[in-house]
Amino acid sequence: MLHLTAPAATTGPQPRTRDADGMAVASFILGLLGLLVLNLFLGPIAIILSLVALWRGTARKGRAYLGLALGVADLGVLAIAMAASNTISWSL
């Protein structure tokens, strides 16, 4: 006779939450880096990662909100630098 048992309950965080926490940290780091280099690419990526992390219910909401703010700031810095130099790109 074959007895089937239910799978054991996991005690750690769910993989989805852990992934969301990683996305929140990644959005913060990419947003911070985007203030210095490649803000055209890193800003939108930081915004998307932070929104997905918040949507998935991250435990690190502060980092996700900081990543969102830094991503928006990246695009703002790019717009200001482009307006100041009258070009579509900028450099230090």
Domain that holds residue 37: 16-85
Please report whether residue 46 resides in a domain.
yes
Residue 33: its pLDDT value, please? 93
Please report whether residue 10 resides in a domain.
no
- What are the C-alpha distances in Å from 74 to residues 6, 7, 26, 63, 82? 49, 46, 15, 16, 12
Residue with tokens 């969102």: 68
Task: Give the model's confidence band at 76: pLDDT under 50 very low, under 70 low, under 90 confident, else very high.
Answer: very high
Residue with tokens 């450099």: 91
| CA-angle at 36, arms to 33 and 41, nearest 5° | 65
Q: Express each pLDDT in 5-52 by its tens digit.
A: 655 555 555 566 678 888 899 999 999 999 888 888 999 999 999 999
Residue with tokens 């089937």: 4
Range in 29-33, 50-54, 77-81, 86-90 with the lowest mean pLDDT: 86-90
| Total number of domains constituting the chain | 1
Please report whether residue 1 resides in a domain.
no
- Can you tell me the distance from the alpha carbon of 68 to that of 74, in angstroms, rounded to the nearest whole number? 10
